[in-house]
Chains A and B, each alone.
Chain A
Amino acid sequence: MMMCPTQPVCGSQGTSTGSSVSSVLGAVGGTITVLGGIGSIIGVLAKTGVIVILGVSAAAAIWIGAVIGAVLAFATVFTFYYLRCLSKPDTLAACSAGVVEQLIPAFSSASEDVFPFTAQHDRVDVVVKCIYWPLVQINAAFVECNSDPDGSPILRGYYHNAKVCGAGLGSTIGAGVGVVAGILAGAAIGAAIGCATIILCLFALLIALIVAAVTVIVAAIIGGQIGKAAASAPPSPVADDGNTIHSGDYVTTQGGLLTSGDDDGSRIYWFVEHTTLHGHSTFSSPFDHTDPDANLLMDACPVRTPGGPPR
Chain B
Amino acid sequence: MAVLFTVWRHSLCAVTGAIAGAFAGAVFGLLLTTAIPPPVITAAERLEIALILAAAAWLILLLILASWLHYKLAAIWLPALVNAVITAVLTIFLAYVLKAFPYLAPIVGAIVGTLVGWILCRFCEPRSLGVGK
A contacts, CB < 8 Å to B = 11-12, 14, 16-19, 21-26, 28-30, 32-41, 43-44, 46-48, 59-61, 64-65, 68, 76, 80, 109, 111, 115, 118, 120, 142, 195, 198-199, 201-203, 205-206, 209-210, 261-264
A26 and B30 in contact (CB under 8 A), knowing A80-B68, A262-B69?
no
Which listed residue, A115, A142, A195, A261, touches B34 by the CB 8 Å rule? A195
29 A-B pairs with C-beta separation under 8 A: A12-B126, A22-B11, A25-B15, A25-B64, A26-B9, A29-B18, A29-B19, A30-B5, A33-B1, A33-B26, A33-B106, A35-B106, A36-B27, A36-B106, A37-B29, A39-B26, A39-B29, A40-B32, A40-B103, A43-B29, A43-B30, A111-B67, A115-B67, A120-B70, A202-B27, A206-B56, A262-B131, A262-B132, A264-B129
Q: Mark B10-40, 1 if CB is under 8 A from A, else 0.
A: 1110011011001101110111111110010
Describe A's contact surface by its main secondary structure: helix
B contacts, CB < 8 Å to A = 1, 4-5, 8-12, 15-16, 18-19, 22-23, 25-27, 29-36, 39, 41, 45, 48-49, 52-53, 56, 64, 67-70, 102-107, 109-110, 113, 125-129, 131-132
Contacts of B12 in A (CB 8 A): 21-22, 25, 261
A-B residue pair count with CB separations less than 8 angstroms: 178
Contacts of B5 in A (CB 8 A): 26, 30
B19 CB, min distance to chain A CBs, angstroms: 5
Closest to A117 in B: B68
A109 and B70 in contact (CB under 8 A), knowing A26-B8, A209-B27, A262-B131?
yes
- Would B64 and A24 count as touching, CB distance under 8 A? yes
**Known A199-B49, A209-B27; 12 more pairs at CB < 8 Å:** A14-B126, A22-B9, A22-B12, A26-B9, A30-B1, A36-B106, A40-B106, A198-B39, A198-B49, A201-B34, A210-B56, A263-B132
Question: Within the assembled complex, what's the spacing in Å between the Cα atoms of A109 and B132?
Answer: 11
Which listed residue, A17, A32, A115, touches B23 by the CB 8 Å rule? A32
